[in-house]
Amino acid sequence: MVGERIRQLRIHKQLTQKELTEGICSITYLSRIENGQINPSAEFLRKVSKRLGYDLTELSVPNRDEKTLEIVENYKQSEKISEEDLSYLLVQTYELNSTKINLHLYGVLLRYYTTKGEIEQARSIFNLSKRFISGEISEGLEEEYFYYFLACGNYFYYFQDFERANHYYSKGESLLIDRDNLDAAKLYYNLSLVKQRTYDNQEVSLYYSQKAYDIFKNYGEKKYIITVLITLGVQYQLNNELDTSMDCLKKAEAIIVEDKESEKFVNYIAMIQHNMGRIFERKRDYQGAVTYYLKSIELFESHSSEQQNVYPLKRLVEIYIELKDWVLVDKYLEKAIFITEKHGLKYDYILLNIIKFSVKKLQGNESSYEKGMQKLLDTAMQLNQGALIRRITKELGSHFYEKKAYKKAADLLMKALDYEN
């Protein structure tokens, strides 16, 4: 058991056997310990514990659950965890635990790694959790399941798998007891974001955003108030309520301007500029929109938020398609696609490539359009992106209908209808 835990900790620390044993023992000696062939000496354990930053004697401590719960509670309160405590939680995932402890362990570890952007670790934790946590909610463990479901929702939201994120957030909502506290507000906000991505009409997303906004306002949570106001601005804009959208964005801007440390809100100012650009674009004031988009790109770059630039770049592409400036279309499109590939933004990658292949069709290259869109459809289906599947099947079905390829058109449009249902 000790040998296996040493191996797990070594891999977690990204150490080779040579790096761990240097100055302590031979690689052969470590290999035999890790394979369970011999027991380690006390001197070996002392030296290896120091190098791993983890006291290996903790493995035999009788009050493991108490220590686990203490670490978990500290993380929930502070959103911080030491390397030693992180190693301790990881080791506990390989022990036999109660459902309650497993929910705490996997909820915190999944949230931690997703927040840090360490996605391979997050994927490993999520897959492990599915082995040990039942989908059936045990009575008396509602709070633990709530936190775990939120962590799962955040994990899938990171991958832009909005259908599954919505699934887990909705399971979390069903467990809410106090619907007026900050946990509820954060969940409502997350639900508003996934509903925004999965529904064409924004009434549902607006409903959740408004609920979140009211709670955050009651608690005086300035950062969250600004965030939700910007999101409301987006959702009203998508519903074509442009004046209301502008009001929300100006409210958010006014709160930032009044703050004595407004420089810490640079990223939010960039979001506001971007979304004001969207309103000007909807009003067909393209010059005004371009000014706002370029300003938001500049602000995002100054704040080292490269991946956020996908959105104003995409808007610039749409404007220059309207203006038939193909040089600028290609320039901004390639920049945006590069960012989605670099940061693994699969949803936005597909969206931008839909635009790319639609441009090829406009330029007369129908063969490239058909092959490219079919490939994107396969990718969207693999990623379970329902909204994108609907869009691609509708567009591709309409294209084949115009070409009088009625059987292909019918198959695609039927698929679109299935996903609509």
pLDDT at residue 61 is higher than 60? no
CA distance 372 to 375: 5
Determine the CATH number of domain 358-421. Answer: 1.25.40
Domain 2-60 identical in fold to domain 358-421:
no
What mean pLDDT is predicted for residues 66-77?
A: 92
- Tell the CATH superfamily of the 2-60 domain: lambda repressor-like DNA-binding domains (1.10.260.40)
CA–chain centroid gap for 300, Å, is: 18
- Give SS3 for 80: coil
Residue spans of alpha helices (H) in 159-260? 162-173, 182-198, 203-219, 222-238, 242-258
Entry pTM? 0.73
Q: Which residues contact 137 (CB under 8 A, 6 or more apart)?
A: 145, 175
Alpha-carbon separation of residue 368 from 35, 239, 322, 375 (angstroms): 54, 33, 21, 11
Give the start-end residues of each E strand in 321-389: none
* Domain locations along the chain: 2-60, 358-421
Helix (H) or strand (E) holding 355: helix 346-362
Question: What is the structure's pLDDT at 366?
Answer: 93
CA distance 373 to 370: 5
Q: Considering only CA atoms, which of 141, 144, 70 is closest in space to residue 107?
A: 144
What's the pLDDT band for 214 if we cut at 50, 70, 90? Answer: very high
Query: What amino acid occupies position 79?
Result: E
pLDDT at residue 63 is higher than 70? no
Q: Give 330-372 pLDDT, tens digit per residue.
A: 999 999 999 999 988 888 999 999 999 999 998 899 999 999 9
Question: What is the structure's pLDDT at 221?
Answer: 95
Residue spans of alpha helices (H) in 117-181? 119-132, 142-158, 162-173
